Amino acid sequence: MNKKWWQKEVIYQIYPKSFYDSNNDGIGDIKGITQKLDYLQSLGITMVWICPIYQSPMDDNGYDISDYYQLNPEFGEMKDLDELIKKAKEKGIKIVLDLVINHTSDEHPWFQDLLENGENSKYKDYYILKSGKDGQPPTNWRSVFGGSVWEPLKGTDQYYFHSFGIKQPDLNWENKEVRKELYKMVNYWLDKGIAGFRVDAITFIKKDQNYDNLPADGVDGLVKCTKKTRNQPGIETFLHELNDETFSKYNCVTIGEAPGVPYEQYGDYIGENGYFSMIFDFRYADLDVASGSEWFRRVDWDVLDLKKLIFTSQKEIQKAGWGANFLENHDQNRSISKYIKEEENRNFYSATMLGAMFFYLRGTPFIYQGQEIGMTNFERKSIEEFDDISSIDQYYRSINEGFSEEEALHFINLRSRDNSRTPFHWNGENFGGFSEVTPWLGMNENYKTINASQQEQDPDSILNFYKKIIEVRQTSEASECLIYGEIEPLLEDHPTIIAYKRKLNDEEVVCYFNFSSESQKVELDHNKYDVLLNNYKEETISEQECVLKPYQALVLQVKGADLS
């Protein structure tokens, strides 16, 4: 394997609206990020991915862009971003932006021109327009955020296509002009000195050109659109061209949000000449729902299921290339609330165990803001308290599918994207020190006990343990092995321990994570180890055996054995 610079990085994801509000208008902003660079540096991360900050009506919180070249004024001005890039660089932190090129906002001037001039608009072919059939939309496909993918184009007999929200019309990638415009924009941002992009919803850019109906899969008479809109044959031409015209000209990192790619095709996406440096695999993050976008179809799972999904993913990615490992993001609920089922077990041990378990998997680790202090889900009492368009859709869809209002609320409380979008808990003061005024989104009262300032002072906090986790990967004696080493699952059939080995030449690190509230005995292969990481103070290794305490994380470097 040829080493790449981005394999070494530790990436911190920022949801800018909720990170830090520097001017007290209740909304996080770019200056807020700049002001918190010391915090990020002390954590030990090396790169930051910022969710969209471009001009946008914020219907989907920035994933609906109305001008690719301007920043949303509520986030700040271009000089603020320039300053952030510069100051971050001084601290050894690179900046990655979000790239949203499957769709724009309906307030983008291209779409506005289309609305104004209809058939005569010079942007007519920038979007996907089709005529209806017998007064019905062109197909029965359901959009990711609910309802038909088709919306009537006012003043015409045509419909426009949207994979996501009504205010997010999909761009027509079949049109070369559109692609050229997008490549120009991508290069503009790379020229600015950012380190690369996280690329949004990229498997959606190619649609099946046979716009035909499929059998319905819900009481709404519609069918999930993804069978026709995700990773469709022909996408390779677009992705190769995107890469040739933009990314490949820079030494940048690209992280593809690429749901719907079968493992057999991972080589095309992340292989030596793949479209991206790495992609996210959502299979294990979505283990509690039958499909990532149907929250009312709950799935019961156990640690063995989680382990199988993680190891299958790791093995497939290892064959193909490099992965982007994450526990949380702005579309997921909080990891401690998801992966640790019983409330009484959500504590320092389980939070740090989870953190370490995913961190030493093979790939580049991502930390989502607040994960490092153990922020939790935030239960809301009524549908009015939600902001996320997806949660609102899922609520009404659940009810249409026959669930009660209470059940519907329960499903979205578990899964809502608003769980992870609440303002960051900086301290125990009003609004968690995020802002001096009421924040844009209601926040969890537990900021009084779960916050960064208190944890900075406590040597035994989740935050300080995350610093250790990062240090061990980045600068310890075992660093090369933990970054570049092969991964090999251990104890594959054990019901409650997730364990694996990382191996590089004659170095070996073994990692054990106890997902249970009971102590567990494990046998070790060797008898000499250095403890690299342990979330308990005591060591319980004797001879070739070790007792893992409840939710213990234990990472050991093998010593003195002939491993060749």
Give contact residues for ligand NOJ (rule: CB under 6 A).
60, 63, 100, 164, 200-201, 257, 330-331
- Per CB under 5 A, the segment of 20-28, 105-113, 247-255, 407-415 that binds Ca ion is 20-28
Nearer CB in complex with Ca ion: 443/478: 443
Question: Please, is 392 exposed, middle or buried when counting C-beta atoms within 10 Å of its C-beta (0-12, 13-18, 19+)?
Answer: middle
d(CA 68, CA 186): 9
CB burial readout 105-143, b (16+ within 10 A) else e:
bbbbebbebbbeeeeebebbebbbbeeeeeeebbbbbbb
Cα 6 from Cα 11, distance rounded (Å): 10
100 binds, among Ca ion, ligand NOJ, none (CB under 5 to 8 A by kind): ligand NOJ
Catalytic residue among 98, 200, 288, 393: 200
CA distance 528 to 91: 38
Partners of 489 in beta bridges: 500
- 63 contact choice in ligand NOJ, Ca ion, none (CB below 5 to 8 Å, kind-dependent): ligand NOJ
Question: Closest CB to ligand NOJ among 279 and 554?
Answer: 279
Is 257 part of the annotated catalytic residue set? yes
Inter-residue contact 437 to 26 (CB < 8 Å): yes
Alpha helices in 402-475 (DSSP H): 405-415, 418-421, 452-457, 462-475
Q: By C-beta, is 29 or 331 nearer to ligand NOJ?
A: 331
Q: Quick one: which of 29, 80, 98, 281 contacts Ca ion (CB under 5 A)?
A: 29
* Nearer to ligand NOJ among residue 151 and residue 257 (C-beta): 257
Whole-number Å distance between alpha carbons of 209 and 351: 46
| Residue 23 binding target from Ca ion, ligand NOJ, none, CB below 5 to 8 Å by type | Ca ion
Token match 């030596």: residue? 272
Q: Which is nearer to ligand NOJ, 18 or 352 (CB)?
A: 18
Shortest Å distance, C-beta 449 to ligand NOJ: 29
Least distance (Å) between residue 197 CB and ligand NOJ: 13
The residue whose Cβ lies closest to ligand NOJ is: 63
Nearer to ligand NOJ, 29 or 200 (CB): 200
CB of 515 to ligand NOJ, least distance (A): 27
Q: In angstroms, give the least distance from the CB of 326 to ligand NOJ.
A: 12
Which residue from 1, 5, 23, 519 is in contact with Ca ion, where contact means CB under 5 A? 23
* Closest listed residue to residue 432, CA positions, set 441, 440, 423: 423
By CB under 5 A, is residue 27 in contact with Ca ion?
A: yes
Least distance CB 244 / ligand NOJ (angstroms): 24
Neighbours of 366 (CB within 10 A): 26
436 is a site residue for Ca ion (CB under 5 A): no
Select the residue interacting with Ca ion from 4, 7, 8, 25 (CB under 5 A). 25
Q: Smallest gap, in angstroms, from Cβ of residue 21 to Ca ion?
A: 4
Q: What, of ligand NOJ, Ca ion, none, does residue 21 touch, CB below 5 to 8 Å by kind?
A: Ca ion
* C-alpha span between 252 and 265 (Å, rounded): 23
C-alpha span between 333 and 470 (Å, rounded): 23
| Residue 257 or 281 having the CB closest to ligand NOJ | 257
Instruction: Find the binder of Ca ion among 21, 64, 316, 328 (CB under 5 A).
Output: 21
Q: In what order do the strands lie in the sheet with 541-542?
A: 520-523, 545-548, 541-542
Taking CB within 5 to 8 Å according to partner kind, which of Ca ion, ligand NOJ, none is near residue 27? Ca ion
Phi, psi of 135, rounded to the nearest 5 degrees:
75, 5
Q: Which of 64, 74, 106, 257 is flagged as catalytic?
A: 257
For residue 369, which of 458, 432, 282, 279 has the smallest C-alpha distance? 432
Residue 536's Cα: distance from chain center in Å? Answer: 29
* Minimal distance, residue 23 CB to Ca ion, in Å: 5
Q: Which residue's Cβ has the minimum distance to Ca ion? A: 29
What count of residues does the chain have?
Answer: 564
Query: Binding to Ca ion by residue 487, rule CB under 5 A?
Result: no
Residue 80 within binding range of Ca ion, rule CB under 5 A: no
What string of H, E and C letters represents the secondary structure of 372-411? Answer: HHCCCCCCCCCHHHCCCHHHHHHHHHHHHCCCCHHHHHHH
Count the helix, strand and coil residues of the chain and give each as a percent rounded to the nearest 5: 35, 20, 45
Type and span of the H or E element at 521: strand 520-523
Indicate the residue among 76 and 137 with the shorter CB distance to Ca ion: 76
* DSSP-derived 3-state class of residue 556: strand
* Part in contact with Ca ion (CB under 5 A); list of ranges 25-33, 258-266, 306-314, 473-481: 25-33
What's the min distance (Å) between Cβ of 193 and ligand NOJ? Answer: 24
80 binds, among Ca ion, ligand NOJ, none (CB under 5 to 8 A by kind): none
Catalytic residue numbers read: 200, 257
Binding site for Ca ion (CB under 5 A): 21, 23, 25, 27, 29
